[in-house]
A and B are shown apart, each in its own frame.
Chain A
Amino acid sequence: MTISEIADLRAPSAVSGQDAPAAGPSREALDVLENEAIHIIREVVAEFDRPVMLFSGGKDSVVMLHLAAKAFWPARIPFPVLHVDTGHNFPEVLEFRDETVARLGLALEVASVQDYIDDGRLAERSDGTRNPLQTVPLLDAIQGGKHDAVFGGGRRDEDKARAKERIISLRDEFGQWDPRNQRPELWNLYNGRHTPGQHVRAFPISNWTELDVWRYIERENIALPPLYYAHEREVYRRDGMWRAVGPVSEPRADEVVEKRLVRYRTVGDMSCTGAVESDAVDVASVVREVAASTLTERGATRADDRISEAGMEDRKKDGYF
């Protein structure tokens, strides 16, 4: 059969939507994405000396770590994980992080924003958000650990600057991303060559959407921090989102605190992450909710991404995740 003959075929799987040929491979999007992510993770481990994986306990990094465990089974994941702790993380998420790291037998490196503020290397911002402050501790931890590759759970569907990001993305000795001068990415041949001082960021789940992540969590039965599911919490309304009452997110005098059934779509810094009203108490109902959502996860729950049209681009250029 020639290629033009093949090209003329209308794939039966495409027409009916899903039936893969009985004896053939699965062409379900989740399987294709999983196989691609495992390939990327193995490429990076094979080609770099000291990779590290960013792990916050957030759903994307949990999925990425799950894929890493699959990539090297029956061996242990052959690299440490790194968390940039803003000092404002949800306690449930930190507990989940520690349990997961212990369960998988991994070494955890923590870069603490609080330490930098305590000794004066960083100053607290007037708006109280610490997300932009993560960049310096992150770059110091990469340099201190002599890491030449850093896995991140970034997805291209999250943000329009991220939509331009490569799967393997070069950073200069200042950790900077130069979006106007990226290497072309060809086939599945990733070029991770770099000179001393440079490192790469590797994004194995670049091609996943929020819904893909949730469907995969459901399919693989992956545990997440409890605040991803609907629970009762004391919240108040600010900037169009529900903020939890906590030590770094005190309501102002004019903000009314009430008890609501909420869940988190992203779990970042408590000072800038909001909850959404939801009755999705389990993964199946979250999948339905995300499929029906009319807001993006960052638009719905991240105050820091509303700073400007180019909020993410500016942070990424400086070396952010």
Chain B
Amino acid sequence: MTDTTLETRTHGLFRFATAGSVDDGKSTLVGRLLHDSKAILADQLDAITRASEARGFGGGGQIDFALLTDGLRAEREQGITIDVAYRYFSTDRRNFVLADCPGHVQYTRNMVTGSTTADAVVVLVDVRNGVLEQTRRHLAVVQLLRVPHVIVAVNKVDLTGYDEAAFRAVEADAIALAGELGLPEVTVIPVSALAGDNVVEPSANTPWYDGPALLELLETLAVVDEAEDALAPFRFPVQTVIRPQGALAPGLDPEDFRDYRALAGQVSSGSVRVGDAVTVLPGGAVTTVVGIDTANGPLEQAFAPQSVALRLADEIDATRGTVIAAAADAPASAQDLTASLFWLDPRPLTPGQRVLVKYGTATVQAIVTELQGRRDLDTLALEPADSLAINDIGQARLRLASPLALVPYAEHRRNGAFVVIHPQDGATLAAGTVL
């Protein structure tokens, strides 16, 4: 075993997604990122080197990095990526979770899946093709889902001889597009995934670029959800009620837990202290937090995203699906919901359809009362439509069977998100964001 003194402490987690059109070299970029950050271990490298040779790739030890990310037999056989794959690597600064989203088949479905939890999205563009139709669509999804950071990696700059003008033209288009779509910020980086330029290390081949390499940027971007969590008022969707009577964990004294009742959940935004006044929604009963429990002992204060159990002063009907909120800043409960819908099912949405809405820990029946339109993904304008097909993004009104404490997605990503479920077969029909 090596006697190197390695840094083994843990640090923060950063989630990002990668997206690109066919042949933009996304798998190569992902492979390069993993390889150059030493996340590919020797046995994996051996396996893909052998497979690369068997497939007649390159030669001279060149590696087809796509073999690393295309995990399914059908993907390797067809040379395409079918589904989002998750990759893990770490540097001295951060642990990364990478959601690798295929670009061509069902791109909206994959982009949505990969982007809902992402702190950043890396969109690939081939410097020779520039900003394409699909780039525009990728960025539109990113904007609607409010992914905090957008990075456009302009790939294959080696193939234009590291020509600055070629890069600057694409950069200007990307920045203009981001402005049109209303994206808060975009960083454009010239890279060659194949040659490794500006992926992990700044490249000597692009002296005209003085920005960070891709990995350096990923290491230093702020986790915006954290800032949003801290600024948002306290919200706590109740997952389940813990009442251990008769089924206490071994070793605990039943006398200490005779009337114990606590609400288990994960703080989804803000924080709460013992003694704080809280409102139980829907219903609006007000009470006080008298205890915040964890298996490691009680807390004085809990923050998002901690999983804890809350004890309240009064016996209030709070069960799964209710939300505990700061009494001073509780959201209104409503039975009518206006939302953006990202339609993900092959069966189209039609007005009048009955669905289930899962919002936080609540699942309620709903009817789509009105389809207000479908977004033109080139302009993001809402246009009249009779139905939504798979990969369409639209706006609709829904009538809920019982009221929910609705928070706009624009205020907080997790608090304002829901999924639409088929009431019979349980399929996930759509991702929804509260307007």
Interface residues of A (CB under 8 A from B): 1, 3-4, 6-11, 13-15, 17-18, 24-25, 27-36, 38-39, 42-43, 45-46, 69-78, 103-105, 156-157, 159-164, 179-180, 182-189, 191, 193-195, 206-207, 209, 211-212, 215, 277-280, 287-289, 291-296, 299-300, 309-310, 313-314
Q: Is the CB of B293 within 8 A of A313?
A: no
Nearest CB of chain A from residue B287's CB, rounded to whole Å? 21
B44 CB contacts on chain A under 8 angstroms: 296, 299
Binds A, one of B156-164, B373-381, B394-402, B419-427: B419-427
Q: Answer whether A74 and B224 are a contact pair too, CB < 8 Å, given A163-B85, A184-B428, A188-B414.
A: no
Q: Is the CB of B219 within 8 A of A14?
A: yes
Q: Is the CB of B220 within 8 A of A10?
A: yes
Residue interface mask B215-248, A partner, CB < 8 A = 1: 0000111111011111100000001101110011
A280 to B395, alpha carbons, bound, how many Å? 58
Q: Answer whether A179 and B9 are a contact pair too, CB < 8 Å, given A74-B244, A294-B42, A299-B41.
A: no
Residue of B with least CB distance to A3: B184
Q: Is the CB of A187 within 8 A of B414?
A: yes
Q: Is the CB of B266 within 8 A of A35?
A: yes
A188 CB contacts on chain B under 8 angstroms: 117, 266, 414
A246 to B184, alpha carbons, bound, how many Å? 63
Q: Is the CB of A313 within 8 A of B361?
A: no
Closest 8 A-B residue pairs measured CB to CB? Answer: A193-B426, A299-B43, A160-B71, A25-B303, A4-B184, A75-B244, A73-B295, A38-B307
A173 to B427, alpha carbons, bound, how many Å? 16
Q: Is the CB of A6 within 8 A of B228?
A: yes
Q: Is the CB of B426 within 8 A of A209?
A: no
Q: Answer whether A184 and B112 are a contact pair too, CB < 8 Å, given A72-B242, A193-B421.
A: yes
Number of interchain pairs (Cβ within 8 Å): 274
Other-chain contact of A25, B76, B94, B305, B427 (Cβ < 8 Å)? B305
A281 to B113, alpha carbons, bound, how many Å? 42
Kindly list 11 other residue pairs between chains A and B, CB separation below 8 angstroms, not including A3-B224, A212-B95: A7-B184, A8-B185, A11-B221, A18-B9, A25-B271, A25-B303, A27-B223, A42-B239, A46-B361, A74-B244, A74-B249
A187 to B419, alpha carbons, bound, how many Å? 9
Q: Is the CB of A179 within 8 A of B219?
A: no
Q: Is the CB of A288 within 8 A of B8?
A: yes
B13 CB contacts on chain A under 8 angstroms: 27, 29, 32-33
Nearest CB of chain B from residue A14's CB, rounded to whole Å? 6
Residue interface mask B179-201, A partner, CB < 8 A = 1: 00000110000000000000000
B419 CB contacts on chain A under 8 angstroms: 186-187, 189, 191
Q: Is the CB of A313 within 8 A of B73?
A: yes
Q: Is the CB of A14 within 8 A of B222?
A: yes
Q: Is the CB of A29 within 8 A of B11?
A: yes
B32, CB-defined interface residue at 8 Å:
no
Can you list 14 contacts pairing A with B, beta carbon distance less than 8 Å? A6-B231, A10-B221, A25-B304, A34-B307, A36-B305, A75-B243, A104-B249, A160-B69, A160-B70, A184-B428, A191-B358, A191-B421, A291-B8, A292-B1
B252, CB-defined interface residue at 8 Å:
yes
Binds A, one of B133-141, B257-265, B275-283, B332-340: B257-265
B320, CB-defined interface residue at 8 Å:
yes
Q: Is the CB of A189 within 8 A of B11?
A: no
Nearest CB of chain B from residue A36's CB, rounded to whole Å? 8
Q: Is the CB of A180 within 8 A of B83?
A: yes
Nearest CB of chain A from residue B168's CB, rounded to whole Å? 23
B222 CB contacts on chain A under 8 angstroms: 6-11, 14
B74 CB contacts on chain A under 8 angstroms: 180
B82, CB-defined interface residue at 8 Å:
yes
In chain B, positions 64-102 with a C-beta closer than 8 Å to chain A are 68-74, 76, 82-88, 90, 92-95, 97
Q: Is the CB of B417 within 8 A of A209?
A: no
Q: Answer whether A184 and B1 are a contact pair too, CB < 8 Å, given A30-B10, A157-B88.
A: no
Q: Answer whether A191 and B426 are a contact pair too, CB < 8 Å, given A11-B223, A46-B320.
A: yes
Q: Is the CB of A296 within 8 A of B230?
A: no
Other-chain contact of A46, B51, B227, B239 (Cβ < 8 Å)? B239
B422 CB contacts on chain A under 8 angstroms: 193
Among B71, B73, B243, B361, chain A packs the most CB atoms within 10 A around the CB of B71
Residue of B with least CB distance to A214: B8
Q: Is the CB of A75 within 8 A of B295?
A: no
Nearest CB of chain A from residue B389's CB, rounded to whole Å? 16
B326, CB-defined interface residue at 8 Å:
no
Nearest CB of chain B from residue A78's CB, rounded to whole Å? 7
A206 CB contacts on chain B under 8 angstroms: 86
Q: Is the CB of B85 within 8 A of A160?
A: yes
B418 CB contacts on chain A under 8 angstroms: 189
In chain B, positions 27-83 with a C-beta closer than 8 Å to chain A are 41-44, 47, 51, 68-74, 76, 82-83
A42 to B240, alpha carbons, bound, how many Å? 7
Q: Is the CB of A280 within 8 A of B1?
A: yes
Residue of B with least CB distance to A193: B426
Q: Is the CB of A25 within 8 A of B41?
A: no
B250, CB-defined interface residue at 8 Å:
yes
Nearest CB of chain A from residue B162's CB, rounded to whole Å? 29
Nearest CB of chain A from residue B90's CB, rounded to whole Å? 8
A294 CB contacts on chain B under 8 angstroms: 41-42
Q: Answer whether A35 and B307 are a contact pair too, CB < 8 Å, given A45-B240, A295-B42.
A: yes
Q: Answer whether A42 and B265 are a contact pair too, CB < 8 Å, given A75-B242, A163-B71, A189-B417.
A: yes
Nearest CB of chain B from residue A260's CB, rounded to whole Å? 13
A293 to B260, alpha carbons, bound, how many Å? 46
Q: Is the CB of B6 within 8 A of A17?
A: no
Q: Is the CB of B82 within 8 A of A71?
A: no
Q: Answer whether A164 and B1 are a contact pair too, CB < 8 Å, given A24-B303, A71-B307.
A: no
B88 CB contacts on chain A under 8 angstroms: 156-157, 207, 209
Other-chain contact of A76, B8, B69, B248 (Cβ < 8 Å)? B248
Q: Is the CB of A179 within 8 A of B295?
A: no
Residue of B with least CB distance to A198: B426
B320 CB contacts on chain A under 8 angstroms: 46
Q: Is the CB of B10 within 8 A of A29?
A: yes
Among B1, B94, B109, chain A packs the most CB atoms within 10 A around the CB of B1
Other-chain contact of A75, B10, B247, B361 (Cβ < 8 Å)? B247
